Amino acid sequence: MNTGGLILIVGSLLAASGAFIWLALKLEGGGKKTKDKNTPQTQLTAAAQEDVEHIFNTEFREELRNRGRLHFEKILGENAMFLQQDLRQTTTQLNDYMRAEITRTLQEEFKKYEQSIVDAKQIAIDSIEKTVATIEQQRQFLEQQMQSQSEAQKNRIINRFEAEMATIVNHYVLLAIGNQIDLTDQMDFILGEMQANKQAIIEDIKRGAT
Amino acid sequence: MEQLKLPAIVIGQSDIARLQRELNGLNDFFTSARARQTGISMQLPKLTRILNQLAHENGINLLEEPDRQKLSAALTALYEHAPSLHISFASEPSPKAMETLVLWVRANIHPHALILVGLQPSVAAGCFLRTPNKVFDLSLRTTLKKSEPYLIKLIAGAVSGR
């Protein structure tokens, strides 16, 4: 049952009530007009009224009222049932609609949330990759720097060692066998060296003598 | 002086000075011997081996005054004019080593060369020779310095395992 049917039923009930009221008023107004009781019309009217009173007596009216009340209650019950059904159906539809809407909204929100998570994850991955790349560059730079420094240090040590090698070996010989080496054993070496410088020594002696 | 032959045990100016002092002492002894009274015995002073050897190698009779005067003059001339070489070693040289060295110097450099020995612990091996105007570094360090390329080659070979 839709709203139009309900309006129609309520309208018919109102019309029936209006007819009862009008009839009651009419019957009451007819009694007042009996100013002249002796006229035939008056008598007829009185007789009619009496018949009416006889037909539509109090019990009958009460019966009619009861029937109307019952009918009205029945109609109200039916309509209430229809209304309840409609309300239940509407509620069910509304629930379905709300569920669907909520589900859709939640799905959209979840999608957005998931997309946000994916974006954040991608941003984090990009950031980590950039950090890793930067660290790798730094590592390579440091490695090159350390290698170059190590190479320079090695070269410095080698150059210094080469420059001071004679002194180092001499110092080593001095520490190792300085106290044990005998001049007699060195005499061949010393005489060989003097032989190599013999001419210079003689010339210097002659120059010193003059 | 030209005729004087120096034995190997006469090394430096200090030996010449010692010989002169000894020779003077000998002269003094003979002078006092001439002035002695008859009957007083005198004992000839004991001569050192260095003076004996010097006199023997040069055919000098130390009992003769002219010979002693000749030797004294020669020693004075040596002390004043003989070329002197200063040699520094890492440690005190043995007499045998010094004899070898002196013989070589007098045979090859100058027959009257005198040697003054010094100590230079940092020499390690070899010696420093100082003449009147020059210093000759005859140490092992200089020799190693000269042969540095060969030493580097040896070290490089040892490092590379070849």
Q: Using one digit for the tens of pLDDT, what is the confidence trace for A92-101?
A: 888 898 889 9
Dihedral of alpha carbons A27, A31, A32, A34, sign:
positive
Q: Are B97 and B127 in contact (CB under 8 A)?
A: no
Residue A165 identity (one-letter amino acid): M
pLDDT at B88 exceeding the cut of 90: no
Locate the DSSP E strands across B20-151: 84-89, 114-119, 126-130, 135-139
pLDDT of residue A129: 95
* ipTM of this complex: 0.75
H or E, element range at B26: helix B13-34
Q: Are B92 and B119 in contact (CB under 8 A)?
A: yes
Closest CA in chain B for residue A170: B141
Distances (CA, A) of A39 to A43, A48, A69: 6, 14, 40
Q: Is B36 on the interface with A (CB under 8 A)?
A: no
Mutation for testing the A interface, residue in B116, B144, B154, B159 having most A CBs under 10 Å: B144
Distances (CA, A) of B44 to B28, B51, B65: 11, 14, 15
Read off the pLDDT of residues A147-160 as tens digits, 9 standing for 90 and up.
Answer: 999 999 988 888 88
Start-end of H helices in chain A: 3-32, 40-55, 58-177, 183-196, 198-209
**pLDDT, mean of residues B85-113:** 85
pLDDT: which is higher, A174 or A195:
A195
Q: Are A84 and A1 in contact (CB under 8 A)?
A: no
**pLDDT, mean of residues A116-137:** 95
Residues of B in contact with A159 (CB under 8 A): none
Q: How confident is the model at residue A32 (pLDDT cuts 50, 70, 90)?
A: low
Q: Tokens representing A138? A: 């730094």
Q: Is A163 on the interface with B (CB under 8 A)?
A: no
Give the one of A169, A189, A204 whose C-beta lies nearest to B126's C-beta.
Answer: A189
pLDDT of residue A178: 61
**pLDDT, mean of residues A8-17:** 86
Read off the pLDDT of residues A50-68 as tens digits, 9 standing for 90 and up.
Answer: 777 777 778 888 888 898 8
The mean predicted confidence, pLDDT, of chain B is: 82
pLDDT: which is higher, A133 or A210:
A133
Q: How confident is the model at residue B1 (pLDDT cuts 50, 70, 90)?
A: very low
Give the one of B97, B125, B144 whose C-beta lies nearest to A184's C-beta.
Answer: B97
pLDDT of residue A180: 63
Q: Say how far apart CA A14 and CA A21 lie, in whole Å.
A: 11
Strand partners, B115: B85
pTM of the model: 0.51
Q: Say how far apart CA A199 and CA B34 lie, in whole Å.
A: 51
